[in-house]
Structure 1
Amino acid sequence: MKGVLMVNLGSPESPTAKDVKPYLDEFLMDERVIDVPNILRNIIVRGIILQTRPKKSAEAYAKIWWDEGSPLVVISERFAKKVSTQIQMPVALGMRYGKMSIKKAMQELKDKGVDDVILVPLYPHYAMSSFETVVVKTMEVKDEFFPEMKITTLPAFYKNEDYIKVLSESIAKHLEGFEYDHILFSYHGIPERHIRKSDPTKFHCKIDGSCCQTNSVAHNTCYRHQCYDTTERVKKYLGLPEDKVSVSFQSRLPNDPWLKPYTDFEFERFPKEGKKRLAVITPAFVSDCLETLEEIAMEGKEQFQEAGGDTYKHIPCLNDDDSWVSVMAEWLNNWEKTEKLPV
């Protein structure tokens, strides 16, 4: 029997330092997130970051927490429930980190008689710290607890025409009536070394401004290329002016080169160039979360306006938009009938 396992990032149980600390510990101790030797990772995470970060992160979570719980979890649950009404297969939702574990979700499917699973990492782009870690963890859980299950993974859908269409039309809807000077596509940041580590050729990805434009098998796992490709496809679909669109990367750790340009630097730069009305979209996520709701929608607005900006518009993620639900349901229904996945 076929079934669907959707997996998103995860969330602490509450916006308190007590609950944030174990969540951050699991997240940051993932070798695909902080990819250094285990001894060094222990020192960085448990000896440094977890000494101060939980309190600060809890305060940030408190700013965006909903009555129903974590926005990312609530939105993911709504999305999964809506999709389940449009397909004939059982749907279970798990999180890579936190108590809503992948194992629990797989057990839920097993209890319903499912032994043929399509894994849906809820990330449009491939990165070792998001898409890859979900796939690896799911296979580890399968091998240990559910060896009878067959797992097929929905590939990164960053350039799928249906996805680009629904993303573009969502952006257009939120831009109605807003006269912008610039649109910033801000993607989650990752260390530059992750790009090189994910390159199967071990020589193509140089992050030199040209490799992303040169066709290569490396693009199948190159997060940077895929982010720029998504932007170009949306720009083309909507007919956006070349000089009014750019890409940046948010979130980073100090003393480590991450993908540039940095979003917060762009917030400070735009007003100086006369770009006083800014719209920001975060396509690395399909569900609004701490990073989009607090770092971009709140802190980003404050940084931009303090630098001299005027109007700031944060465009929400696709979340549980009905058009996005229909696209996912169509992909899954097609897989159930033909076992073909979208590209």
Structure 2
Amino acid sequence: MKKGILLVNLGSPDSPDPKDVKTYLDEFLMDPRVIDVPFWLRSFIVRGIILNTRPKASAAAYKKIWWEEGSPLIVISESLQRKIQEQVEVPVGLAMRYGSMTIKKGLQELVDKGVEDVLLIPLYPQFAMATTETILVLAEEIRQAHFPNIKITDLPAFYNNTDYIKLLSNSIAKHLKDKPYEHLLFSYHGVPERHIRKSDITKSHCKIDGSCCATASKAHQFCYRHQCFEVTRLVVENLGLKEGTYSTSFQSRLGFDPWLQPYTDRTIERLGNQGVKNMAVVTPAFVSDCLETLEEIAMEGEEIFHEVGGDNFTTVPCLNDDQEWVDLLAKWINTWQTTEKRPV
């Protein structure tokens, strides 16, 4: 069976125009694994409230970060795809969970090249309902409906992979080498607490308290919260950071239900009020810079920090299309190609 690769990232509006942003937000927020409530309620919340108020504000945010070549996330992902293709012999495709670069189109392009065996790589280090799971579920639905003769294998979450942790740690150290900072904040994408409980395969372990993420359990295989804290722990260990010089937080909450805490904006504010003058922020839930890293953290986060008396605010870029990240993905792909085993 001819093999091929499909990289899948989050997605982006086609432009920062409010109409395109509204179309994108409708697809994104109507995903039942993003806002996981009954359809009638989700439709009321999204189409009755959010899409009547949020597109203009979101469009303004996208305009702040939009590159001449297009959406940063798309441009970076396309560069990553090209660089990987130079290092592997099998076809490498690219798709987005939301937007016009659909998973169906990505699979079709591979099938048109004769591919029958696909390694699907969700570009997320941690597993979550609203990221990895929604990609895998949709890909399987599309396979059954349109490509029943192909086989799909997925790359598991690689949050604790030794090579990945070493690469992430080296990237942080390199970008902060000459930067003044006294506190490193690990900021992860936020999800509702109920997502953690829904993903608990034991149905009893995840209590979202001070101990469950540090207590061994099969639930950790699909626990986004545990996997985020584990990335922080492993990177801290690799970098030899001292207690009190780092912390973990979660960003981008929506609505009134409880989301993972502590919140990033409040953590930045608190640290500034406590006298931290030099702060660095890394965003390990993403491998590609996007709206959340470039606008929410690098712009809004810095503004909050300066408002409470902070001086220097440094954001560590995502791995993006860094050559060492390309090399690692190519290594995983070549392992799968030659052994047919999931490489992580």
Q: Shorter chain as normaliser: what TM range?
A: over 0.9
What's the CA shift for 1:209?
Answer: 1.1
- Alpha-carbon RMSD across the aligned residues, in angstroms, is 0.6
Match of 2:134 in 1: 133
Runs of 4+ in 1 over 3 A off after TM superposition: none
Counting only pairs closer than 5 Å after superposition, residues 28-67 of structure 1 correspond to structure 2 as 28-67=29-68
Contact 2:333/2:343 (CA < 8 Å) preserved in 1?
no
- Size of the alignment, in residue pairs? 343
Q: Distance in 2 between matches of 1:96 and 1:116?
A: 20
Deviation readout 1:224-259 (Å, 9 max, x if unpaired) = 000000011111111111210110000001311000
Match of 2:275 in 1: 274
Helix, strand or coil at the partner of 2:280: strand
In the other structure, the counterpart of 2:8 is 7
CA distance in 2: counterparts of 1:28 and 1:75, whole angstroms: 23
**Greater CA drift, 32-41 or 236-245:** 236-245
Amino acid at match of 1:207: I
Alignment of 1:229-268 (within 5 A): 229-268=230-269
Secondary structure in structure 1 of the residue aligned to 2:49: helix
> Which consecutive residues of structure 2, in runs of 5 or more, have no partner in the other structure?
none
Deviation at 1:180, TM superposition (A): 1.3
How far apart, CA to CA, are the structure 1 residues paired with 2:343 and 2:286? 19
Residue matched to 1:214? 215
CA-CA distance at 1:275 after TM superposition: 1.0
C-alpha distance in structure 1 between counterparts of 2:106 and 2:181, whole Å = 43
| Partner residue in 1 for 2:176 | 175
Report if aligned partners of 2:95, 2:106 keep a CA contact under 8 Å in 1: yes
Distance across 1 between alignment mates of 2:160 and 2:175: 21
Cα offset for 1:274?
1.5
Provide the residue aligned with 1:156 in structure 2: 157
Taking the aligned partners of 2:172 and 2:99, their CA distance within structure 1 comes to: 31
1:22 counterpart residue number: 23
TM-score (norm 1): 0.99
Match of 2:53, SS? Answer: helix
- The alpha-carbon deviation at position 88 of structure 1 amounts to 0.5
Distance apart, 1:341 and its partner CA: 2.3
Q: Write the deviation string for residues 154-176 of structure 1: whole angstroms up to 9, x where unpaired.
A: 00000001111111100000011
Identity of aligned residues (%): 65
Q: Distance in 1 between matches of 2:298 and 2:213?
A: 29
Report the Cα distance in structure 2 between the residues aligned to 1:278 and 1:89, rounded to whole angstroms.
42
The answer on 1:297 being equivalent to 2:308 is no
Aligned AA for 2:237?
Answer: K
Cα deviation for residue 340 of structure 1 reads: 2.1
1:69 equivalent in structure 2 = 70
Unmatched runs of 5 consecutive residues or more in structure 1: none
Matched, 1:94 2:95: yes
> Taking structure 2 as the reference length, what is the TM-score of the superposition?
0.99
